[in-house]
Amino acid sequence: MSLRITGRVGHWLAQAGRTARLMVGVQDYARYVEHMRAHHPELPVLDEGAYCALMQEKRYGGKGVGKCPC
């Protein structure tokens, strides 16, 4: 059985989940894809494996890696 919570509580729980994942270093690939399609449609979107590798490099000492993966 799947429980779907909507409204303000659902929004708050989704935000809390996103925050918790970011705190432990797990980036949000779906949000990245959404951002790329909305703001950089002319650029290719990284596949999930390449995106995760880039985020790990950025977090754990990649030299010359900027803030935005795009």
Q: Quick one: which of 8, 1, 28 has its CA closest to 17? A: 28
For position 70, what pLDDT does the model report? 57
For position 38, what pLDDT does the model report? 96
The residues near 43 (Cβ < 8 Å, ≥ 6 apart) are: 36, 70
* pLDDT over 60 (residue 67): no
For position 33, what pLDDT does the model report? 93
> Would you say 54 and 65 are in contact if contact means Cβ atoms under 8 Å apart?
yes
User: What predicted TM-score, i.e. pTM, was given to this entire model?
Assistant: 0.56
User: What 3-state DSSP class applies to 9?
Assistant: helix
pLDDT single digits (tens) 6-43: 788 888 888 888 788 777 666 788 888 999 999 999 99
Residue 56: pLDDT band with limits 50, 70, 90:
confident
